[in-house]
Structure 1
Amino acid sequence: MKIEEIRVRGTVQGVGFRPTVYRLAKAYGLRGDVCNDGQGVLIRVSGSEEDLTKFVTKLQQECPPLAKIQELSRTSYEGEFDFDDFVISSSVSNVIKTEIVPDAATCPQCLQEIFDPFSRFYRYPFTNCTHCGPRLSIIRAIPYDRHNTSMSAFTMCPECAKEYHDVENRRFHAQPVACHVCGPKAWLERADGKPVTASMFSMMDDVDAVCTLLQKGQIVAIKGLGGIHLACDATQEIAVQKLRQRKKRYHKPFALMARDISIIEEYCTVNAKEKELLTSSAAPIVLLPVLGRKQLASLVAPGQNTLGFMLPYTPLHYLILKRMNRPIVLTSGNIADEPQCIDNDEAREKLGKIADYFLFHNREIVNRVDDSVVRVVGDTVQIIRRARGYAPATINLPLGFHNVPQILAMGSELKNTFCLLREKEAIVSQHLGDLENIAAYNAYQNTLNLYLNLFDCKPEAIAIDKHPEYLSSKLGKQLASANQIKLYSIQHHHAHIAACMAENSIPLNSPPVLGIALDGLGYGEDSKLWGGEFLLADYRQFQRLATFKQVAMIGGEQAIYQPWRNTYAHLLAAKLWDTCQQQYTELEFFKFLKQKPLKLLNQIIEKRINSPSVSSVGRLFDAVAAAIGICLEECSYEGQAAIEMESLVDINNLNNYKETNNYHFEVGFLDNIYCIEPDLMWQGLLDDLQQQIPQKTIAAKFHKSLVNTIVEMVKLLRQENLIDRVALTGGVFQNCILLEQVTKHLQSLEINVLTHSLVPANDGGLSLGQAMITAAQLINTY
């Protein structure tokens, strides 16, 4: 007989892993014990060599649904061993190296129970087990035990305790286990403070009453898993309009929830991959093509050809939607750009003038976790916002990074995440929002402190973006100074490319890739603002090979929300404004621009007063969109004009335009590197506008022309450099026409194309890249 210590690392706590170990050990007649500790799961076991091998093989084959084994090691056990049977021992606190499981959508077994009148969980909105339910949203410390979560406030009743301690039950050590008798409760309140009475509407309970309220056109704030949402009937024009006006969210698309796939399919086409995502344990919002068979309220997603749908992911949502035969809006419960509310009192204060009713519960949300957003491009899943269901699942590091010191990367200013690097893995936080909002910045600091404590992270280095005014960079400098640790400033677009390399498992010492990073802007090595870059890069360094023409961003940040500023700046840069005044005076955008204080704007540009030059492809999209009449005057969110222009394009007709009809981009030189200049493109576009070519045709031609330009630049750079891999990254590559078309053309040239699927292409993935570059530089010095 052999005695072994089996160490299992990965996502193995709070997912029913120990009961699986117990069941298999008993099946093979083994003796010993299993326990959780700070590193994962520890198994001490005695048996024959054959039975031990079968046990380990079976454990890997029958891993629970939410578990993920990253490493399993077997060594001889030399310590005291006094077991007559196999048992589950209490958790041990030691060095923390384990993972936290993302929050998981309701499993089929729990769903069946909440609708079974004979189950003690019938209509209980907080039903869960080891296969589903809250994780990150309720945890305060590791190990993941009940006393370290917000469920510590609820003492288990005898029935729940019995299931919790029954190793054969799927609720064995399910930390949030609870029922009607002992668990959290949900209740309905009126926003005006008046009492809610049963005579107001027929209802089974307060949760069921929400459905009636939504059907009557009311707005209800619903406290869910990781935050509070605002809900209304998505088919009622007045209700959606009321929600937009009260929330002051005038154009950005609303997220939708539907009871089941069949309702979604009345409004959108859903392919097999998208259906798999919708029904997965992550249960994200999935962007789906509009079908057009049935119509939602026009203000749900104005100017879009996609809708963002999710399925219910908690029993609470399932119970609300049981009688709802149409979609509901389910959008973040917040004011303007503030973080989503998570506290009852905070919601009463901030959402009291938006919601008509509140559905609250008394389980504390410890960690705010927004809904994740994904879309399928080709056969690849593209994560746009990585949060509930995905964070903080670890990302395995590529070959060469397996002994990295602990590193903290602070992320960007917008769409912020931070990243912790340790040993063989990266832990990227959930989406934390735009730090320019003080409430978001405070939440960022609180979440950062929580993660550092949860994962017992003591970083030896801190990585920040080079931009001196980013709040994340300033905080990183303060932390590095206060703790006397190394600080690394990482160029924005290099970080984008490194993140793409990392999630595609490109080893540390691989040859450079050609990274094409297209976005709004990032601080460059020359202290200018970049945004359309071709960089030959590895993890340690990069060489800038090509860029887009620098154009003034009139008024700085104002240009993001007033696209006409970019149109005017581009026409000036192309020396076409005088031509406009002679030949194109009847164009709508020209008439609009003539009403602006152009002399003052010219002075601002000449004197470089808050008008930095940028090589931004994001702003180029805005400029073209405004010129053809999309969001000419203003946007209510970044990228709105570009997104609406993309939605105009009929992908099926995209390739019907002859090569000669495409717009032309010239290639020149700037500071000894290639420079893509859009001057001739603008001339062609102005001619099309004058000939009254349809808006959607111009949008398609612009997309196709930009694709061709990017591909031709890759061909040119390939002649001068050894390039066999191209990484496509940056927020502009969330445009799926651009991504699909560039990928297809480059693959036809036998180039291996790297894209994002684990972290966003936008700034939400930046922290991973910052951490990887810092790790590579640190490894290089060891």
Structure 2
Amino acid sequence: MTAAISLHVTGVVQGVGYRPFVYNLARRLGVTGWVRNASDGVWCLAEGDPETLATFERALRDEAPPMAVVESVVAEEVDPEGAVEFVIIASHAEEGAMTLVSPDIATCDACRSELLDPTDRRYRYPFINCTNCGPRFTIIDDVPYDRPMTTMRDFPMCPECSAEYGDPADRRFHAQPDACFVCGPRLYLNGSGNAPADWEWSAEVETSPRPHRDHDAERTRSDAILEAATTLLREGGILAIKGLGGFQLACDATNEAAVSRLRDRKRRWGKPFAVMMSTLELASEYCEISPDESKLLTSPAAPIVLLRLRESVGAYGEYGCEDEGAGKSLASSAAGEGAEDAKHPQAPRAPGKDCSSKGLACSLAPGLRELGVMLPYTPLHHLLLSAVGIPLVMTSGNLSEEPIATGNAEALERLGQIADAVLLHDREIRSRYDDSVARVISSGTELVRRARGFAPFPIRLPFRSDVDILALGPEQKNTVTLLTGEYAFVSQHIGDMENAETFAAFERTIKLYSRLFRVNPGIIAYDLHPEYLSSKHALSLGLPAVGVQHHHAHVAGVAAEHGIDGPFIGVALDGTGYGPDGTIWGGEVLLATLGGFDRLARLSHMPMPGGAAAVKRPARMAIGALAAAGLLGHPGAESLRSRLTEGEESTLLRMIERGVNSPLTSSMGRLFDAMAAICGVRDDAGYEGQAAIELEAVADSSAQGTYRFSITPGEPAIIESAPVLEAALDDIVRGVPASTVSTRFHRAVAAAIVDQCSMASASSGTRVVALSGGVLMNRLVMDGAFSGLIDAGLQPITHVRLPVNDGGVSFGQAVVAWARRHEV
């Protein structure tokens, strides 16, 4: 007897080879009917005997392609249509329906093999892809995901590509970005000197549709462009490269002069650079790589992974350079010693003759013991890395703190003064998409920046919302979240909302996500800080708005990721967050639900003389912390005070005494800054978190001992920092090295978390502890707190699919807004 079922499949099922999979599955089982894309997923009609249809339905989930994520398969019995074969039919767009969109995916093994196979017609084609890899989110305009809905609409397929596209047995069956030398995107190289005229990109070359070209001539041209680009890199030049979601800036990572020149031109004097290595084997020569880190590096997402430098390589820049001048701390530079050598207060010291003796430039990651490493994830990367034969710096294509360039004309204008040449192509980028950054810690994989390879895949919620919610995120590391139904779509990393370009990217992202996922917000969630651009924008939209305290958003996001609605203990440690009491929060222990919280404990207050200026100059923060603790006269503070500029200390003390521009903070991030300056590690910071990152880098795990915070009971209880500061100063007087002081301080912070949470658990009855905030990106603090909480019989949880820093705050805001609506 012939039966029929209608099947609706939801999840990431478009752009990942799902329809071809369904087609081949049906042919194998002898099922007739059809499959099509729709705005809300994939729909099938399947006809056959009941037993075969049951097998077909199970296989839709159990045997799905590797890049598909099947959320649900809903079957309904229907009347047979009398189909005699199984076919793929035209896609159907339904008003208001929503489907999920795949992230961009690193080049698969099969495409990489073809890329390097001289007998393959796509040999050395820089844009090779298939249903298992390549661009997705960065080229899509709307759903359903079909070529006319992408920026590949400008590239009509040649007969050979069309034949593959229509062949169910081919890996490129219905692969929307499918292309080759004849019909696909092509490379251009601007600024390379006396090059052929057709190497140069201009707006005039982007005719639509693009013409088909001669295969052999096009490959010869492409190879010549690549050879010119690799020659420039080998000779120490800086190359701008158009990637999947924006431009990157590349140079020889073993050439100190090239790296220093890139820092100067990009105005990125201290922040570490990521390095792209051609193979995992090469990366392991420089870094220690665990099995979990190896798996992450080679995953389809292919993020930048923070890896520990091998002992034979050591730390770089201020702490690792063999040259005496290069090895000095910038703390000495702040006091005037050798200051004439620095091009910028946060610039790495000038390298000596032995700077690159270990193989990599000293100033890649100044003062750090970790290096951000990634493997090639596009065909163009594979071709460049295999040809150039050296590791390459691969950093965002922008001036420091600006969004990355995405358009060709934009890149030529904005990057022309940074790069010696620009390697670009004529496939448009629809969505700006930074490289994701991740690392492996004791609790699992932790995202530092969530973008390529991860966004826009949503977070599945432990509830279903009856209203769409738009959460606009914080000021730094901004993301936005659109909550609809059972999903929260957290955007890719947007950046720090410090300029008009980033704000424009913020607005474009909201529009794109609203369109793709059919979201029509009825509620806006925002940070309580009245001066944040995102908060001002929220209040300008004329919709019901919910203000969410920054640290509540942090911990509520963790709880929602784990399906917990409370009550739970929340620990939020970071640099800044607007407090309802008018002070700056950042060292918080909360008893929370998704909808509300009580403040159980906080770090003791410290003044920030100069406000934001104290963030950029940790030495100021150290004076504020020591003044609050009554320890400025301690002999251990003499070195810090001697490094201040003439009249600086007296000015700072007057500001503190009079309460002039010296806001009080309970921020753990600011205490880390203060300790870094007290130890002589960092007096001035060139980028957010630099002092704390370098304080962690100097810590010595073999050192013995710890410090202890004291507790003043109250509502909230006060975690007093004075005993820790005094113990550190005592150690400094005794000549204890900064590495030991740092280690003892880190242990004290982890122990304070465990102690406070143990007391909170005893009084509240809950064992769940949600850990969030930028300070917990510190491996020593997170690992120490996590293991200590487990030993204490508690249940620590942290972010799994979102960053622990402010990149996850918008998700927490959306969750809190939903919870308040439902009084959870």
Deviation at 1:7, TM superposition (A): 0.6
Residue of 640, 645, 655 corresponding to 2:695: 645
Q: Quick check: 1:317 aligned with 2:381? A: yes
User: 620-629 or 550-559: which moved more?
Assistant: 550-559
Instruction: Using the TM superposition, give the Cα deviation of residue 403 of structure 1 relative to its aligned residue in structure 2, in angstroms.
Output: 4.2
Q: Any idea what the Cα deviations from partners look like across 1:447-497, whole Å, max 9, x if unmatched?
A: 111111111110121111111111111111122x1xxx3211111111100
2:225 is matched with: 206
CA distance in 1, matches of 2:294, 2:166: 36
Does the CA-based 8 Å contact 1:203-1:209 persist in structure 2? Answer: no
Give SS of 1:667's match: strand
Output the CA distance in 2 between the equivalents of 1:208 and 1:267.
Answer: 27
* Correspondence for 1:563 among 607, 618, 623: 618
Task: Give how far 1:723 is off.
Answer: 2.4
State the Cα distance separating 1:323 from its structure 2 match.
2.8
Aligned twin of 1:402: 464
Q: Which residue of 2 aligns with 1:411?
A: 473
- Structure 1 residue aligned with 2:567: 512
Instruction: Flag the 1:608–1:17 CA change in 2: closer, same or farther, 3 A.
Output: same
The equivalences for 1:610-689 within 5 A come to 610-632=661-683, 634-651=684-701, 653=702, 657-658=704-705, 662-669=706-713, 672-689=715-732
1:19-418 equivalence runs, <5 A:
19-78=20-79, 81-94=81-94, 95-190=96-191, 195=195, 204-291=223-310, 292-293=312-313, 294-378=358-442, 380-398=444-462, 401-418=463-480
Aligned pairs for 1:567-586 (under 5 A) are: 567-577=622-632, 579-580=633-634, 583-584=635-636
Q: In structure 2, how many angstroms separate the alpha carbons of the residues matched to 1:379 and 1:514? A: 18
Unmatched 5+ stretches in structure 1: none
Residue 708 of structure 1: how far off its partner (Å):
1.6
In structure 2, distance between residues paired with 1:620 and 1:77: 66
Look up the SS of the partner of 1:397 in the other structure.
strand
Aligned residues: 757
1:598 is the counterpart of 2:642: no
Match in the other structure for 2:505: 443
Distance 1:64 1:640 in 2: 42
Could you say which residue in structure 2 is the equivalent of 1:538?
Answer: 593
Check whether the contact 1:96–1:142 (CA below 8 A) recurs between aligned residues: no
TM-score by length of structure 2 reads 0.89
Question: How big is the shift at 1:267?
Answer: 0.3
How far 1:669 sits from its partner (Å)?
Answer: 4.2
1:420 equivalent in alignment to 2:420: no
- Measure the CA separation in 1 of the matches of 2:389 and 2:288: 18
C-alpha deviations, 1:654-705, integer Å up to 9, x for none? Answer: 5xx24xxx323221146x2100111121111112112221111111111112
Residues 1:685 and 1:235: Cα distance change in structure 2 (over 3 Å): same
Which secondary structure does the structure 1 equivalent of 2:575 belong to?
Answer: strand
Deviations 1:110-140 (A, max 9, x none): 1111111111111100010110000111111
- Equivalent pair of 1:258/1:310 in contact (CA under 8 Å): yes
- Structure 1 counterpart of 2:743: 700
Deviation string for 1:336-361 (max 9, x for gaps)? 21001111211111111111111111
- Matched to 2:740, the amino acid is T
Paired residues of 2:38 and 2:93 also in contact (CA < 8 A):
yes
Contact 2:481 2:814 in 1 (8 A): yes
Is the 1:495–1:766 contact (alpha carbons within 8 Å) kept by the matching residues of 2?
yes
Q: How far apart, CA to CA, are the structure 1 residues paired with 2:652 and 2:623?
A: 9
Of all paired residues, the percent bearing the same amino acid is 44
1:650 is displaced (CA, Å) by 2.6
Structure 2: how far apart are the matches of 1:422 and 1:601?
Answer: 49
Residue deviations 1:405-458 (CA, integer Å, cap 9, x gap): 211111111000011111111110000000122211111111111111111110
How far has the Cα of 1:210 moved from its partner? Answer: 2.1
2:734 matches 1:691: yes
In the TM superposition, residue 46 of structure 1 has moved relative to its aligned partner by: 1.3
Q: Where has structure 1 moved over 6 Å in runs of 4 or more? A: 196-199
CA contact (8 A) 1:404 1:775 kept: no
8 A Cα contact 1:417 1:767, kept in partner: yes
The alpha carbon displacement at 1:145 in A equals: 1.2
Aligned equivalents of 1:203, 1:123: Cα separation in 2: 8
The residue that corresponds to 2:539 in the other structure is 477
Q: Is the 8 A contact 2:304 2:373 kept in 1?
A: yes
Where structure 2 has 5 or more consecutive residues not aligned to the other structure, the ranges are 200-220, 314-357
Cα distance change on mapping 1:198 and 1:602 into 2, 3 Å:
same
Displacement of 1:778: 2.1
Pair 1:499 & 2:552 matched: no
Please give the TM-score of this superposition, normalised by the length of structure 1: 0.94
Separation in 1, partners of 2:136, 2:277 = 24
| Closer, same or farther: CA 56–521 of 1 in aligned 2, 3 Å | same
Match for residue 769 of structure 2? 726
SS in 2 for 1:205: helix
Q: Distance in 2 between matches of 1:76 and 1:473?
A: 49
For residues 45-95 of structure 1, the C-alpha deviation after alignment (integer angstroms, 9 at most, x for no partner) is 1111100111112222221111000011111225x8352211111100013
Instruction: Please tell me whether residue 460 in structure 1 is matched to residue 522 in structure 2.
Output: yes
Offset at 1:33? 0.7
Answer yes or no: is the 8 Å Cα contact 1:519–1:730 preserved in 2. Answer: yes
Of 469-478 and 730-739, deviating more is 469-478
Instruction: Report what 1:486 is aligned to.
Output: 544
Query: Relative to structure 1, is the Cα distance of residues 124 and 630 closer, same or farther in structure 2, using a 3 angstrom cutoff?
Result: same
Q: Deviations over 1:225-249 (max 9, x none)?
A: 1110110110111111111111110
Deviations 1:89-116 (CA, angstroms, capped at 9, x unpaired): 1100013310110000001111111111
Q: Any conservation in 1 of the 2:570–2:590 contact (CA below 8 Å)?
A: yes
Alpha-carbon distance change, 32 to 356 in structure 1, aligned in 2, over 3 angstroms: same
Contact conserved, 2:60 with 2:73, CA < 8 A, in 1? no
